[in-house]
Structure 1
Amino acid sequence: MTPLLSLIIIAAIIGLLLTLMLVDRGSRGAELSSLADQLGLAYRPYASISQRIRDAHFQLLDIGQFRNFRHLLEGRLDDDDSRYLNLFDYSLITAGGASTQTVILLPCPIPKGCAFSICRKRWLQEDVFSESQHKKLEPLSEQQKPLLLRQWQLHSSYGERLWALLKPEVCDWLLAHPHLHIEWADGILLLCRPHHVLPPAQVNEALQHALQFIQCLQHNAKTI
């Protein structure tokens, strides 16, 4: 009886995700398509994760397992290759149920950078079948955490290098954006607000905040 009940629950969650996809494909797609035109970006209603992003093994995308997503905005924010944007709505199923959030991916070269994840409260739960287990990140020790971030979830493949990035300006930025989930891997920065779909009217502001964070990280990386 238990396996049957599990299958019913999973089917119901998948059905809910499909319903949400059909409901929001119209108005949200039109608004994001218009925004893409304003920003000089390309818009696609459905797309798949590129091999470049898959190879980075972001925890969020590995745990989600889905290789397709909705409402992709893609392209350079200007003529600078270092400002190439991928923005999309990504859905996943966690122990707490279905979750959809808008994900922002931007280039963020950091010399001697190490993979890391930062969030105030743990919300992703992986198991031995998750792809990210192949390069599992370790939690920072209490001594490696800045005082203001002692209660935060800070994980890295090299704790000392993440600690070196967490200078006051980075901590201030994080404290001003406590609801975000942040990852860095293979020269790419990922940001999202769990369970939150970003309204098109707020995309521009969100991008400016993300670029500000990248500047703080890159400035601090010079000390590593």
Structure 2
Amino acid sequence: MQTTLMIPLLSLFVVALIIGLMIFLLLVDSGRRGAALRAAGEALGLSYRPYASVSQRIIDAHFHLLDIGQFRHFRHLLEGRLNAGPHVNLFDYSLVVPAGTSTQTLLLVEAPLQGLSAFSINRDHWLSSDTFSESHHHPRQPLRNEQKPLLLRRWQVKAANPQQLWPRLTPEVCDWLLAHPHLHIEWSDGILLVCRPGLLLEAEQLQPAIDQACLFIALLQHTQQ
């Protein structure tokens, strides 16, 4: 009788031990990531918070990625204004996508672009929404093939006003996009959102990522002139 009871108790103990070990390793790894990001952020002049919620400014921008997300809180927020540069937000964000759960680092950079309405650009279709999604209240139309450069014909390019976007898709902008085919890009209300689905940026990758986002903004701003 005692042997019969011991077997399930031992199994439960082993399972609890494994779960506890996994949680411990997760917390240790998260602590290391937080410390590394904090140090990298301080070098860039950005403040760090381990947990945060989406700001009202970002909510009001109605980014498709965030509108269809299931969470309004995230981890490892870095924010602030770069030296003589734009305001920046960086944070790890998770959401449920058709392929499962996806966690990535979102980079949001202040990007004033006159004469443009909200748009999104990505090569691969990885997000989905339904009729209850907030994004349906702020629809974006796909650009027709004749409104897209030949090399972007297979890309997902959408805008609230396609007529405003297609002149901005200059050869220089297309070259930048073709050099970064795995990115998800959105612009709305003066903010550029960039991420690579499923990728968490490491501390040493923050500066190069910000530099590339700023270069893309500069290319789009050049078409205003």
Q: What range is the shorter-chain TM-score in?
A: 0.7 to 0.9
Task: After TM superposition, list the pairs within 5 Å mapping 1:153-172 onto structure 2.
Answer: 153-172=156-175
The whole-number CA distance in structure 2 between the counterparts of 1:220 and 1:114 is 15
* Deviation digits for residues 120-155 of structure 1 (CA, Å, limit 9, x no counterpart): 011000111111110111111011010110010000
Q: Which residue of 2 aligns with 1:75?
A: 80
Q: Which residue of 2 aligns with 1:141?
A: 144
Q: Which runs of 5+ in 1 are unaligned?
A: 1-18
Q: In structure 2, give the amino acid aligned to 1:92.
A: L
List structure 1 runs of 4+ shifted beyond 6 angstroms: none
Distance 1:109 1:130, change over 3 A: same
The whole-number CA distance in structure 1 between the counterparts of 2:116 and 2:175 is 21
Structure 1 residue 33 and structure 2 residue 24: aligned? no
Q: Which residue of 2 aligns with 1:127?
A: 130
Q: Which runs of 5+ in 2 are unaligned?
A: 1-22
Q: In structure 1, give the amino acid aligned to 2:223.
A: N
Distance 1:159 1:72, change over 3 A: same
* Deviation digits for residues 59-79 of structure 1 (CA, Å, limit 9, x no counterpart): 000111311111011001114
The whole-number CA distance in structure 1 between the counterparts of 2:107 and 2:133 is 22
The whole-number CA distance in structure 2 between the counterparts of 1:153 and 1:23 is 39
CA deviation after TM superposition for structure 1 residue 160, in Å: 1.2
Q: In structure 2, give the amino acid aligned to 1:183.
A: E
Q: Which residue of 1 aligns with 2:95?
A: 92
Question: Over aligned residue pairs, what C-alpha RMSD do you find?
Answer: 1.7
Report how many residues are paired: 204
The whole-number CA distance in structure 1 between the counterparts of 2:65 and 2:84 is 29
SS at match of 2:109: strand
